[in-house]
Each structure stands twice: as C-alpha cells, then as structure tokens.
Structure 1
Amino acid sequence: MVTALIPVKNTSQAKQRLAPVLAAAERAGLARAMLRDVLGAVTHARSIDQIFVVAENDEVAGICAEYGVSILQETANRGYNHAVAAGVKALSPFQGDLSAVILPSDIPLLTAWEVDQLVAEAQGRLVRIAPSRDGMGTNGLFLSPAHAIPSQFGLNSARRHQHVTEQSGIPCECVVLPGLAFDIDTPNDLRDFRALRSDTIAGGFLRQSHIFSSSFEFERVQP
C-alpha cells in the first residue's frame, strides 16, 4: 500500500518569496491553484492507494473535498519536516506494510505518470529522491517503509536525504522528472512558468488574474 502525504502551509502565509511581485491575495490564490493541480495528478496516479493533505487547519478542506482527499490536521504549523513527521506518525498502525510518497503542493506541472514513476517497482526497503530543478531541493520523496528515514526538507535537502539514507544502510535512488522538479518559489520560477504557457489550473489562475498580462513586470512591488 502506498500513501501520498502532501503538507500544505496556510495559503494566507504561502509563497513569501513571491511577495516582491505578487500581492498577498495573488499568492494565496496561486497556492490554492497549485494544490488543485497536484491533487489532480495524484488522484489519477495508479500507484497511490490513499492520499492525505497535512494542514494546520481546515482552510483547504473545500479543495480536498473536491478531490475526495482527507486532511490530517496538525496541532500547530511547525514547519515542513514536522508536518511530514505528523503525517507518518498518523499512519503508524499500518507502517509494517505501508510506503509513503511525500509531495509538495507547489509543483503544478506534476503528472500522474510521474507519480507512478516515483513509486514504481519498489521492492523491500528503499528511498527514492526526486530533486528540484537546481538539484539541491527535494520535490518528491518515496519511503519504503514510510518511517525509513526522518525527512530532511530545507536547504540542500536532496544531499541531506541521500546522506541520511546511506547512513541508515537503505538503498537510495534518484529520479529526475521534469514536472515534479518544477516548483514555483521565486520570481524567476514564475517567469519560467509563464514561458511554458501550461494548461494547468495554476496557469489558468495567473492568466485570469491578468498577472501574466503583457504589461506585467516581475520587478513590481505590491503594497
């Protein structure tokens, strides 16, 4: 059995690094749109048996309900690794035969096929890392079993995940998947996403909001 865990920061506080180019309401709307893209991909992945969004409150409950996804509520928002740990702990009664895949909510180009590739043909103990575009971050983490290693998300997380896995004596694999690798954190990411003209919910939101209009300047500062 494979469970997908998707930690979600409160959308009102999401994407602070985009503050120089997007207003708070725009960042919140983008965060919700990207979550819909991710849930759409994961719910269509053949390899996933159950999906949980890990969130501090029920702010995204409506979106989860659209996709038939349950929420695991944290008692407090203490960061990404804490959210992952809380999600894995909630699954503890099933850990003996349970694998987990941890995915962020800001990868709108993710496809169901990529999710299936991340968890494909896993036999026995295994950690599989899907790095971000710069090779430094971790945009997907497959754990078999779910408690194989503690997550190491943050600066240089791909290298740290690999190190912890090797120290644990667990086989480690790296898979490069372009949609999974493409997160939106910075104005440069947003510029690259604009150039793709993707048929995603996030892309549609940005176009409908006129954020990607011809007059849009990435250097603008919002009040």
Structure 2
Amino acid sequence: MTWRVVVPIKQPGSRKSRLAGALDAAAREDLAERMFRHVMAVLAEIPGVSPLVLCPVRPAGWSGEWVADWDEVNVMLAALRGAVSEQGFCTINADLPLLCGHDVSALLAAAGEAGIALAPDRGGTGTNAVALAPGHTVDFHFGPGSFAAFARETGALARTVTTPGLATDIDCAEDLAIIATACSA
C-alpha cells in the first residue's frame, strides 16, 4: 500500500514558541529544524511512503513535495485527505526526535489492519500522528485535548499505537531533557 504522509510545520519564526522561557528564538528555530529534518529522514527510508510538507513557506533545504497552508491545520489536513481518499493517509508531527522507522511502520500497519490508528503523546492528551487506511476518514482535531476528541469520534474503530518515538514530542522546557539524554546515550 502507498501512504501519503503529511508533516505539518509552522513557518520560521513561530516554531516551538512554548519553549521561549528556556530557549532564545534562534535556538528554538534550530531545534525545530533539526527535529523536522530527522522526521523527514525517517520517512524517506520507509518503502511506500510519499511525504508531503504542510507549511506556509517551503522549509529551508526541503526539495520534496510541499503545500503552502492557507487555513487552519485541521482544515488543511481534511482537504489533503479528501484529495487522496483512495490512498493510505497519515499525518505525523514534525517534533518527534526519537522517531524511528519501526514506529511509523507500526502505525501504518495498525491503520492497515483496523482502518484507523492514533498515536497519543506521552501525557495521553495530545495526538502526534493519525493514520487512515484507504476509504477511511476522520474529522481532524489537532489542538488541546485532541486525543480524547479523536477517540470519541473513532471509538473502537481506531487502534492506539504507543511507542516512545511516536509519543515523545518536544513542547515544554522539561521535554528538552529528553533530547539531552537521547543525544548523550
């Protein structure tokens, strides 16, 4: 099966703003870029995955497929899903520094079996990835409390995939220790 995998990322200058108390603007931008490149490198190694970046401007150094978002991310994801409804569709956050190929493969396999797969963040409140088998769709609920919203909508249809690589996003100052630990190992 071929999978269209969308990676939304904010435009330069507005990335990782919740880390403003811990990192200056240049450091936040560098961190966001490094995590984005990591996620894209992981996706590039998975057969059958066709990545697409969703960002207001083409990310620096990205020569692959890109769509300039013109609306709120959930609206954009719904439009992109509608354009490829007969294909596997997945969206993965760009701030997953521990993501590995087996994490993505597990998510896509779960969606292939159940129709829908969800990957919550470590706290179980946010959602870091959603995968939809051909013919399946959901309303996208990214934002505060997204995992509960996705779970309410999908009920028993969705399979939950929890791996360290999919669950570990970087949103607050405490999360920076995760990167330091991973890089020193």
After superposition, what is the alpha-carbon deviation per residue over 1:93-129, rounded to whole angstroms, capped at 9, x for unaligned? x42x211111011111111111111001644761111
**Inter-partner Cα distance in structure 2 for 1:191 and 1:124:** 35
User: Which residue of the partner structure matches residue 25 of structure 1?
Assistant: 26
Equivalent residue for 2:170, pick from 181, 184, 187? 184
User: Which residue of the partner structure matches residue 91 of structure 2?
Assistant: 102
Asked whether 1:164 is paired with 2:153, we answer: yes
**Inter-partner Cα distance in structure 2 for 1:70 and 1:108:** 22
What letter corresponds to residue 85 of structure 1 in structure 2?
A: A
**% of aligned pairs identical?**
28
User: Which residue of the partner structure matches residue 216 of structure 1?
Assistant: none
**Inter-partner Cα distance in structure 1 for 2:116 and 2:92:** 14
User: Which residue of the partner structure matches residue 70 of structure 1?
Assistant: 65
Asked whether 1:144 is paired with 2:133, we answer: yes
- Please tell me whether the aligned partners of residues 98 and 145 of structure 1 are also in contact (alpha carbons under 8 angstroms): yes
Gaps of 5+ in 2: none
User: Which residue of the partner structure matches residue 54 of structure 1?
Assistant: 54
User: Which residue of the partner structure matches residue 85 of structure 1?
Assistant: 78
TM-score, normalised on structure 1?
0.76
Classify the secondary structure of the residue corresponding to 1:106: coil
Quote the offset at 1:135 in angstroms.
1.2
- Please tell me whether the aligned partners of residues 120 and 126 of structure 2 are also in contact (alpha carbons under 8 angstroms): yes
- Please tell me whether the aligned partners of residues 7 and 103 of structure 1 are also in contact (alpha carbons under 8 angstroms): yes
Quote the offset at 1:139 in angstroms.
0.8
User: Which residue of the partner structure matches residue 210 of structure 1?
Assistant: none
Quote the offset at 1:195 in angstroms.
2.3
User: Which residue of the partner structure matches residue 180 of structure 2?
Assistant: 194
**Inter-partner Cα distance in structure 2 for 1:109 and 1:123:** 23
RMSD, aligned CA:
2.0
Gaps of 5+ in 1: 200-223
What letter corresponds to residue 56 of structure 1 in structure 2?
A: P
Asked whether 1:41 is paired with 2:47, we answer: no
Matched length: 184
User: Which residue of the partner structure matches residue 214 of structure 1?
Assistant: none
What letter corresponds to residue 12 of structure 2 in structure 1?
A: T
Shift of the 123–195 alpha-carbon distance from structure 1 to 2, 3 Å rule, reads closer
Query: Which protein shows a greater Rg?
Result: 1
TM-score, normalised on structure 2?
0.90
Classify the secondary structure of the residue corresponding to 1:164: helix
Classify the secondary structure of the residue corresponding to 1:120: helix
Quote the offset at 1:159 in angstroms.
1.3
- Please tell me whether the aligned partners of residues 125 and 145 of structure 1 are also in contact (alpha carbons under 8 angstroms): no
**Inter-partner Cα distance in structure 1 for 2:128 and 2:81:** 17
What letter corresponds to residue 30 of structure 1 in structure 2?
A: L
**Inter-partner Cα distance in structure 2 for 1:73 and 1:160:** 26
